[in-house]
Amino acid sequence: MYLVGTQHGKPLRLLSPLLAALAVLLSACEAKQIDSASLHKASDSPPLILSNQAGGAFTISNRSQGSLQAPQPKLSGEQQLAWAVGKSFATQAWVTSPSSTTARDGLGPLFNANSCTGCHVRNGQGELPEKGLGTILRLPTPSPLYGEQLQDMAVSGFKPEGQITWQTINSSHTDAQGNQHQLQRRQFSVDNTAASVSARLAPTLIGMGLLDNISDADILANSDPDDKNHDGISGRANIRSSTQDGTIHIGRFGWKASQSSLHEQIALAFHQDMGISSSLHSPQNCIGDNCQAYSVANTELEISDKLLNAVTNYIANLAVPAAAHDAQSQQGFKIFEQLACAACHTPRFQTRLPSIQLVSTDSAKKSNTATRHTETIFPFSDLLLHDMGAALADQNPTDETPANEWRTAPLWGLGIRARNPDNARLLHDGRARSITEAILWHGGEAEHSKIRFTQLSHQERTTLLYFLKAL
Ligand code: HEC
Ligand code: HEC
């Protein structure tokens, strides 16, 4: 689609230097308020005891696939009813407008899927294109043919922009013990043309409301863009300006951390993935003469603020499945720390903003009356961007972020996602079929960690994987 006249999630470098200076000042002030409980990558911090309460009070003990669809346990009866309204607008199919039978009309004209859970399958990951929905292609610069994202579906009377095509590229990796690992990736394209694209798999929707409530200062505290501590790891915060009010925040959602607010991420998903306009993204999502005619005829917003808030609160209040740690996984965690995996996959954070309530998370943040609330959570990500090397890079920068930089993937729920070896799909384009493959693709700032992983003894590696599967 092509965004006419709006620029969402602008990177800071497009803003005035004055604003940039202000942001730095503000974050420095905020950073002073961080208490000693705040986590840093410094090795002198006391040893961390892992908790199975991965999402703090949002945790439920169920570790089945279905656990991703449950509400967090602290909702009142009334809040559960409101949550269920949000759920219906996220899970049931939207239809073409006008339709007299439903409030869920306004799909398209161009779209990728007709519901959130069409791609985030039962709130879990998306599918690879040969199996179903959930893989999207983003374009390095808005293209006159496809806009920022390829829409491969269209409502009747309109043409999809194109179809996702790919070539499979095999390679192998020999570890220090002489074991060979077969790796596979895909070179994605649109209709087999040479246009460079960035393929993204729909991520699991675990703990989104909690990540939304981590303060910018706590994320910034781990960033080290100039690698001043000389550990070879230089996480960079993705500083963005809000679509809603232009305020500056740290990006944290999406594989490139390009969205700083859950509410904005969801409004963008409605617009780009489903063709549904809202007060945040009002122009119709399409390209060409046909669409101009369509836009003129359809000036009404297709989702109201009230329903958009309901969907945000549904996603924000999903439960987090408990981890399954025991003595062996504590051993595995030590190896994880020794290999410096934890330098990017930050185990613990505290949410510091007002508690997530069943009102828009954004308005809760702004409201002075909202109670302050702290949850200790274990997302295993610093939410920062890292250079992950050439093998994981796209062909060109996308989302105004260098092609080789990716947000550290949160590892909570990893054991649930990687449980079925026939169906595991890890990393931004789902290329890795196992946890081991995902680690072997690490390069750039993570090259050293990867090499140390390949040098582990068989038993050490088993213990590390045992820990990762307990997440
Ligand atoms: C066409 C498939 C598709 C549809 C439909 C879709 N999403 Fe997504 N979603 C994705 C992909 C792919 C990403 C990763 C985007 C990126 O990295 O740029 C994503 C990212 C997200 C994220 C950020 C996750 C994270 O780990 O940071 C949230 C939250 C989200 N989507 C919620 C929704 C909601 C709510 C809806 C319905 C309004 C929705 N999505 C509809 C494919 C989809
Ligand atoms: C320099 C930072 C960095 C280090 C060090 C690092 N990772 Fe990662 N990790 C990332 C990033 C960034 C991604 C996402 C990359 C992508 O999708 O292209 C990722 C992805 C992953 C994934 C896939 C998760 C998913 O949801 O798809 C696993 C598993 C993983 N890392 C485990 C590890 C382990 C184990 C180590 C230590 C041996 C490690 N990582 C070291 C940054 C790092």
Ligand 2 center to residue 226 CA distance, Å? 20
118 CB within 6 A, ligand 1: yes
Question: Could you give the CA distance from residue 405 to residue 398 in angstroms, rounded to a whole number?
Answer: 10
Whether the pLDDT of residue 198 is over 90: the answer is yes
Confidence of residue 374 (pLDDT cuts 50, 70, 90): confident
Among 298-307, 309-318, 373-382, the range scoring the smallest mean pLDDT is: 298-307
Name which of 183, 449, 149 is nearest 286 in CA terms. Answer: 149
If you average pLDDT over residues 428-446, what whole number do you get?
97
Confidence of residue 137 (pLDDT cuts 50, 70, 90): very high
Q: What is the pLDDT of residues 44-101, one digit of tens each?
A: 567 788 999 999 999 999 999 889 999 999 888 888 999 999 999 999 998 888 776 6
Evaluate the omega torsion of the peptide bond into residue 98 and state whether it is cis, within 30 degrees of 0.
yes
Q: How many CA atoms lie within 13 A of 206 on its CB side?
A: 33
Among 258-262, 343-347, 362-366, the range scoring the smallest mean pLDDT is: 362-366
Give ∠ CA 32-40-394 in degrees, rounded to 5.
Answer: 110
| Burial bucket for residue 402 (CB in 10 Å: 0-12, 13-18, 19+) | middle
If you average pLDDT over residues 189-193, what whole number do you get?
93
Confidence of residue 29 (pLDDT cuts 50, 70, 90): very low
Question: Greater confidence, 8 or 51?
Answer: 51
- SS3 at position 167: strand
Q: Ligand 2 atom closest to Cα of 448?
A: 5
Question: Could you give the CA distance from residue 428 to residue 342 in angstroms, rounded to a whole number?
Answer: 19
Q: Which of 8, 94, 116 to mutate to test the pocket of ligand 1 (most atoms within 8 A of CB)?
A: 116
**350 is a domain residue:** yes
Please give the tally of structural domains in the chain: 1
Give ∠ CA 339-469-207 in degrees, rounded to 5.
Answer: 95
311 CB within 6 A, ligand 1: yes
Q: Ligand 2 atom closest to Cα of 428?
A: 17
Among 2-16, 51-65, 360-374, the range scoring the smallest mean pLDDT is: 2-16
pLDDT of 71 reads: 95
Ligand 2 center to residue 337 CA distance, Å? 13
Question: Greater confidence, 403 or 15?
Answer: 403
Q: Calculate the average pLDDT of the chain.
A: 85
335 CB within 6 A, ligand 2: no
344 CB within 6 A, ligand 2: yes
Q: Taking the CA atoms of the chain, what radius of gyration do you get in angstroms?
A: 22
**19 is a domain residue:** yes
Ligand 1 center to residue 305 CA distance, Å? 19
Whether the pLDDT of residue 114 is over 80: the answer is yes
**22 is a domain residue:** yes
pLDDT of 33 reads: 33
Ligand 2 center to residue 342 CA distance, Å? 10
Question: Could you give the CA distance from residue 1 to residue 144 in angstroms, rounded to a whole number?
Answer: 9
Host domain of residue 376 = 10-469
Q: Crossing angle for the helix pair 458-469 and 327-338, nearest 10 degrees?
A: 110
Whether the pLDDT of residue 315 is over 90: the answer is yes
Ligand whose nearest atom lies closest to the CA of 232: 2
Q: Ligand 2 atom closest to Cα of 429?
A: 17
**2 is a domain residue:** no
**459 is a domain residue:** yes
Q: Which two tokens stand for residue 62?
A: 């169920």
325 CB within 6 A, ligand 2: no
Q: Which of 213, 273, 382 to mutate to test the pocket of ligand 1 (most atoms within 8 A of CB)?
A: 273
255 CB within 6 A, ligand 1: yes
If you average pLDDT over residues 246-255, what whole number do you get?
94
Residue nearest to atom 32 of ligand 1 (CA): 266
Q: Crossing angle for the helix pair 262-274 and 305-316, nearest 10 degrees?
A: 110
Pairing status of strand 59-60 against strand 320-321? parallel
CB 13 within 8 A of CB 247: no
**437 is a domain residue:** yes
Give ∠ CA 243-247-252 in degrees, rounded to 5.
Answer: 70
CB 435 within 8 A of CB 426: yes
If you average pLDDT over residues 135-140, what whole number do you get?
93
Whether the pLDDT of residue 104 is over 60: the answer is yes
Q: Which two tokens stand for residue 425?
A: 């799909």
Residue nearest to atom 37 of ligand 1 (CA): 116
Question: Could you give the CA distance from residue 207 to residue 379 in angstroms, rounded to a whole number?
Answer: 8
pLDDT of 85 reads: 95
Q: Which two tokens stand for residue 293?
A: 């005619």
Residues 6+ apart with CB under 8 A from 131: none
If you average pLDDT over residues 284-288, what whole number do you get?
75
Confidence of residue 158 (pLDDT cuts 50, 70, 90): confident
463 CB within 6 A, ligand 1: no
Confidence of residue 382 (pLDDT cuts 50, 70, 90): very high
Ligand 1 center to residue 203 CA distance, Å? 7
Ligand whose nearest atom lies closest to the CA of 333: 2
CB 82 within 8 A of CB 310: yes
pLDDT of 207 reads: 95
58 CB within 6 A, ligand 1: no
If you average pLDDT over residues 309-338, what whole number do you get?
96
**1 is a domain residue:** no
203 CB within 6 A, ligand 1: yes
Whether the pLDDT of residue 375 is over 70: the answer is yes
Ligand whose nearest atom lies closest to the CA of 308: 1
Q: What percent of the chain lies above the pLDDT cut of 90?
A: 63
**249 is a domain residue:** yes
If you average pLDDT over residues 108-132, what whole number do you get?
95
**pTM of the full structure:** 0.89
